[in-house]
Structure 1
């Protein structure tokens, strides 16, 4: 495992986005679970994952010099978690600004804004294609930020039905967007998926 990780890190340090995606897939579940346990908020946990991996990408040139990558990664994620939790009252605006600033260091602002606009349009297309119940559930949870039980009360269904409809909506939206964004750099795609999902 250590040799495999070393090889992946070497590729990431050279800008290999496929290797970066592999690294993301390897460590995302643990970082998300830990962040969710500390922050007790799904939105915050997603932002913590996003910020962590954007910072990994920004520091990719250092990856081959780090003795214990896992320890470094978890300390990075812990520090980001503590910063976001401290700013709990206005964390969403703060986290999005932080992520945007980091990405603009990678991509010129004009490119970022153009990609963001394209992604929003694509997301709206994907939402419009959803069946009515899934679309309404998605909008209540993801756009109006209601809790599951609040959405269930408004829709007059059980929280389990809300969960199922949201899961189905997310799968459909993600599949639609990923199919349309095959050529977008992974770090940018990651940012948009976590920002809007």
Structure 2
């Protein structure tokens, strides 16, 4: 596909304001590979990069009625892609931290200190109760991803849902577990 001139890009943005799907398709096909490569350089994941490209263009479509106000589409789309990729990395980092804490909670204590055994048993009970309180779909996704180690695409295929929906369920489950367990863990850990 040949590079768009500034005039042609302006025409496409004006047409996009009027819900022109063809204009959107031209913009998408002109930028998708460049944006994908840019995001891949940040995330180092083909799957995540493809998801982010889709998310960025979905945002473009949702803001289409203001497309004629865009001064520099190239700068906008790269900024959106960079922000989405960095947001993903921050989220993944937080999820990784939460997962490491949760895996400690979900295992039996191996300490020989009876107080540690009591704490571990109480924490495990609270964790299992919090897990049971999750909505069914969130719990299922959490168990498949965290406890069984199945990747998002495989879970999505198994549950017949999209990968972004699976990610959302997993993130919501982590947030619910974190908020349900934080105060309990603080009390248990500081009580002894």
TM-score, normalising length from structure 2?
A: 0.47
Instruction: Return the structure number with greater relative CO, CA threshold 8 A, min gap 6.
Output: 1
TM-score, normalising length from structure 1?
A: 0.46
